[in-house]
Structures are given as structure tokens and as C-alpha cells.
Structure 1
């Protein structure tokens, strides 16, 4: 009888331990799910709205040079991408539609791709004629200058060179544009 009692106590203890571990796993999964459902655009990335566009000079993949001054006098868009970001692939696919809907040309749209140079050049191929592309290392000079904390990040400027929008997300600007 003593063995039966000991076995029942042991089975009961293992069952309680199993229940506690299962509840801990469920709680953690719920927390991860709620974090995943938060809007991505809530991440602060890029210069503050209303701030002047930070001055820069960068070499493009086409062999030219682009500066912040080249955006003055017309609306501009800078998009910061990374080669190790899966959402950035979707952002690249959205850029032709963004250009069409905003009427911006390649001189008004600057795309900065950070990461492995070979991967960045492959990522830049579909943007030929749509945007001016700059490639830099991870956390490179432009990403640092523009306080990029997450990719993709879009920064819009007005003709005076003032930041009118800066937010992280796959296509936060595209969603708010008229068809």
C-alpha cells in the first residue's frame, strides 16, 4: 500500500509541474502574439518631423553623387532598407507604385540599402530608373546621420528641405495615398 501511495503522490506532483509549465508556455505565446500585433509604425526611426533634412553627400550605384541639396525645391523621399530585412523586400516591391502615385521621379526618391554590398546591388536592380540608390555598410554614415533604428524606414521632405514624415514600416506612406 505504501508503494501505491508514493506512486500516486509522484504522479500528482508531476501532473502539477506539467500544468505549471504549460501555463507558462501559454502565457509567453500570448505575450509574443500581442507584441507581433502591435503596429510596426510605432517604432521611432528617422529624423523628427519638422526638422531640417540632415545634409549629406553620397555615391550612388550608378556612379554619380547625390546630396540633400538635390532634394530641395521639390518634395523628396528617402527610404532606408537593409539586406537582412525580409520586410524590405516588400518595400522594394512597393516603391514603383509609390513613385507612380506620388509622381516622384528617380531624382526625388533616394533609397539607401545597408548591408552586404552584393546583396544590396541585387536588391537595387528592380529600382533602376525609379530611384537613386546608395549602398552602405550596416549602420553606415547615412543610416547613422538619419537616426535609423529599424528598416524599412521612409522619410519624406517638403520643397524647403523640412522633414514632413519619418516612420518605420513596410509601406506606411503608400497606405495613406490616394489611388
Structure 2
């Protein structure tokens, strides 16, 4: 009988120790999440000039920094393996429409194989100029994109006014 009681006390002590360790781990993870803040930094910083670039558009023609001069523009960076990218598409289309941005000033760069990008390309074809590049893409590297989706908003002088990673950064800007 003494062995049974000792065994139960030992199991109880191990269970309590396990509970204490689990509580400590959860607290630590919450603290790390709070320190990390919002979405990861991706893209150029506000105030930076956009890099000089030229890329072939999927529908023909090309996009370049020179072609964006003289007016505001939005560049969105998506990737075929990104689970959050499809959610960004309606917000991008809504922002372009609300801002009166023509297709030539709404540039979407999709990193990945063109064959896999069909679900991303189809809803954007009417509202944006689409560029598809293999991973790692030249435009993604030039714009320092480290996470997708990333949206970069540029003013008429080619300066970045906003850059943010995440699927929903634009609606707050459209209302501002």
C-alpha cells in the first residue's frame, strides 16, 4: 500500500511540475509575440526612393521606374506559395479603384512559376499590370521584399510613402 501512495504522490508531483513548465513556456511565447509587434518589416522604408527597375509585364510591354514618374503608384508583391496572398487581392483592387489608379500605376509582382500563379493573376488582370518572376525575383530583391504579401505605395516623385507586409494594409490608407 505504501508503494501505491508513493507512486501516486510521484505522479502528482510530475504532473504539477509539467503544468508549471507549460505555464512558463506559454508566458514566454506571449511575451515574445508582444515584443514582435505587427507584421514583419518588408520593402523599402517610407522616404526612400524606389530603385531603378525594368520588368516585362505578363500582358506584354514593360514596367519601369521611369513609367511610374509623375503620379502615385502601388506595387504589390505576392508569391504563389503564400497562403495570405489571395486575401490581399480584393483589397488591392478596392484601393486602386478608390484612388483612381489606372492599370499602369498598379503593379503586381508575383514570385513563382507562371503556371502556379493563375489564381492570383486572373482577378488582377483587369485592375493591375502583372509581372511574374521566378524565385528569388529581381524586383523582390531590388525592393527588399522579405515577406509576402508586401505593398509599397509611391508618390509622384518616386518616393515611398508606405510599405507594409500583410494582407490588409490598404483599407486604412484609402480612408486616410
Q: TM-score, normalised by structure 1?
A: 0.87
What pairs with 1:91-102 in structure 2 (closer than 5 Å)?
91-102=88-99
Q: Contact conserved, 1:82 with 1:151, CA < 8 A, in 2?
A: yes
Which secondary structure state, in structure 1, belongs to the residue aligned with residue 75 of structure 2?
A: strand
Comparing 113-122 with 133-142, greater Cα deviation is found at: 113-122
Which secondary structure state, in structure 2, belongs to the residue aligned with residue 10 of structure 1?
A: helix
State the Cα distance separating 1:151 from its structure 2 match: 1.1
Q: Contact conserved, 1:49 with 1:163, CA < 8 A, in 2?
A: yes
CA 1:38–1:175 in structure 2 vs 1: closer, same or farther (change >3 Å)? Answer: farther
Q: Is 1:8 the equivalent of 2:5?
A: yes
CA 1:91–1:148 in structure 2 vs 1: closer, same or farther (change >3 Å)? Answer: same
Q: Unaligned 5+ residue runs, structure 2?
A: none
State the Cα distance separating 1:27 from its structure 2 match: 4.2
Give the alignment partner of residue 89 of structure 1, picking from 86, 90, 99. Answer: 86
How many Å separate the matches in 1 of 2:153 and 2:170? Answer: 9
State the match for 1:124 in structure 2. Answer: 121
CA 1:163–1:19 in structure 2 vs 1: closer, same or farther (change >3 Å)? Answer: same
Give the alignment partner of residue 100 of structure 2, picking from 103, 107, 125. Answer: 103
State the Cα distance separating 1:14 from its structure 2 match: 1.6
State the match for 1:176 in structure 2. Answer: 173
Q: TM-score, normalised by structure 2?
A: 0.88
State the Cα distance separating 1:156 from its structure 2 match: 0.8
How many Å separate the matches in 1 of 2:167 and 2:134? Answer: 21
State the Cα distance separating 1:40 from its structure 2 match: 3.5
What pairs with 1:31-110 in structure 2 (closer than 5 Å)?
32=29, 35=33, 40-41=38-39, 43-110=40-107
Hey, which bits of structure 1, 4+ residues long, moved more than 4 A? 29-34, 36-39
CA 1:23–1:113 in structure 2 vs 1: closer, same or farther (change >3 Å)? Answer: farther
State the match for 1:21 in structure 2. Answer: 18
How many Å separate the matches in 2 of 1:104 and 1:31? Answer: 45
